[in-house]
Amino acid sequence: MTNKMWGGRFKSGPSAIMEEINASIDYDQRLFNQDIDGSIAHASMLGQTGILTKTDVKKIISGLEEIRKEIDTGKFKFSRQLEDIHLNIENRLKEKIGDAAGRLHTARSRNDQVATDFKLYIRDTIDHLSEQISQLQYALAQKALSFADTVMPGYTHLQSAQPVTFGHHCLAYVEMLARDKSRLQDARKRLNECPLGAAALAGTSFPIDRTHTAKALGFDKPTANSLDSVADRDFVLEALSTASISAIHLSRLAEELVIWSSAEFNFVTLSDKFTTGSSIMPQKRNPDAAELIRAKIGRIIGAFNGLATVMKGLPLAYSKDMQEDKEMAFDALDNFSLALAAMTGMIKDLVPNEEKLHQAAGGGFSTATDLADWLVRVLNMPFRQAHHVTGAIVAKAESQNITLDDLSLSDMQAIEPKITKDVFSVLSVENSVKSRVSYGGTAPTQVRKIAKKWIKSLEKTGIAG
């Protein structure tokens, strides 16, 4: 038996293996809302232009809304023989309203139909992900404000470098996430052109109004080239690439949470909600949520690479290869959304160990740069000379196994006689961070200012509820 939706020239139906490789309904059924919205917009346009009668349009739209309810309530029976979401809905529509259902496909193809459905889906997903990123930014900004004065070690090469504040560290990720959100919004603007009406690849001879359908579906305008309309999957690649960059940021933060929550660091405590125990070691508190977030990047970058590989050799216009775009994109974007939700929960519940952070902030002679700056500022010493003098003082403190602020004035003067007791004003970690008042610096005054600015901005968008 041939496929009744397209099998007119075929004498027999596809083999079981062909049906298995060809069907996409197992995963593209999630596009049902977008497919129905697109069909309603298309039917409305066909009625407005006189291509379909008002009676047929009314039947079609009413039938489609009934099908939407069936799918929403789990009553709809999906068929793999009907391949995809488009044919499943169209077949059910025919069962409901008869021959009028067959007129819905006038002046369109599954090629422009699926491109439209998927653009609508990616657009909706970008909006959802942007909201999730804002929620994570808000959680980080709130944490930054609460711990604007909490000193901690700042690292380069994972070696203690200079003291910073915990709030300043949180705000670094707020900035990263802002760029992520900007990239997503930029991708959304670029995808917001409607492919519907491009038909299979060449457009249509029917007098359709593509601007009508574009506006009905919330697009800025129709796409300008019918070949590109059905061949384009840039919008999926962009969504996956921006998600990959953002997932890298989540992975970096997750890595820090794994390190910070270890017994050796003990910088933060993660809540029971986002940790697990061991089946054999009762003392363990494993940062599994952070570890899984760190791992999600592999799936997300993998999806981008997978789709890029699918698309790289395809001639214009549509090829069945492009059916492989959805399953990997669904998986990647679902996992990115899950990672954002888990990270937001962890940040909200996270408790910094302020005493341990303060203790670690003074390790590794972290105020050495403050000493060098003092030599330049007070003694008018060239920075390169100040750097050399400071290195010698650090070596002296290291030989005595003490911190810089515990080193005696006489020991410092033995290396540079002009040093005065005023030098001790810059050697504590508190004074170090307070002095970093340049815009974007770690001084608590700056951290509070920037954190409040972010909180106010995010609350304006309604993110705080």
Which tokens in the block code for residue 307? 């789709």
Which whole-number Å values give the CA distances from 140 to 133, 275, 403, in the listed order? 11, 19, 32
79-83, 232-236, 361-365, 454-458: least confident range: 361-365
What is the four-CA torsion angle of 399, 403, 405, 407, rounded to 10 degrees? -20
Q: Which residues pair with 194 in a beta bridge?
A: 222
**What pLDDT sits at residue 7?**
52
pLDDT in tens, 313-363: 999 989 999 888 999 999 999 999 999 999 999 999 999 999 999 999 887
Q: What are phi and psi of 141, to 5 degrees?
A: -65, -40
Catalytic residue among 15, 278, 319, 408: 278
Q: Compute the distance between CA of residue 359 and CA of residue 241 in angstroms, rounded to an integer.
A: 40
Q: Give the strand pairing for 159-165 and 151-156.
A: antiparallel
Cα three-residue angle 103-108-113, rounded to 5 degrees: 115
pLDDT in tens, 116-142: 999 999 999 999 999 999 999 999 999
Q: What are phi and psi of 16, to 5 degrees?
A: -60, -35
Supply the pTM of this predicted model: 0.90
Q: What are phi and psi of 276, to 5 degrees?
A: -135, 170
Which tokens in the block code for residue 454? 């972010």
**What pLDDT sits at residue 214?**
98
Our answer to whether residue 278 is catalytic in this structure is yes
Whether pLDDT at 85 is above 50: yes
**What pLDDT sits at residue 2?**
55
pLDDT in tens, 189-198: 999 999 999 9
Our answer to whether residue 157 is catalytic in this structure is yes
Whether pLDDT at 111 is above 90: yes
Catalytic residue among 157, 205, 279, 399: 157
Q: Compute the distance between CA of residue 148 and CA of residue 142 in angstroms, rounded to an integer.
A: 10
Q: For residue 464, name the pLDDT band (cuts at 50, 70, 90).
A: low
20-29, 289-298, 378-387, 434-443: least confident range: 20-29
92-98 mean pLDDT: 97
**What pLDDT sits at residue 465?**
47
Average pLDDT, the chain: 92
452-459 mean pLDDT: 97
Closest CA to 170 of 134, 199, 145, 207: 145
pLDDT in tens, 279-318: 677 666 788 999 999 999 999 999 999 999 999 999 998 9
More confident residue, 159 or 277: 159
| Other CB atoms within 10 Å distance of the CB of residue 369 | 17
204-225 mean pLDDT: 98
**What pLDDT sits at residue 275?**
82
Whether pLDDT at 3 is above 70: no
Q: For residue 159, name the pLDDT band (cuts at 50, 70, 90).
A: confident
Q: Is 243 helix (H, G, I), strand (E, B) or coil?
A: helix
Q: Is 308 helix (H, G, I), strand (E, B) or coil?
A: helix
Q: What are phi and psi of 156, to 5 degrees?
A: -130, 140
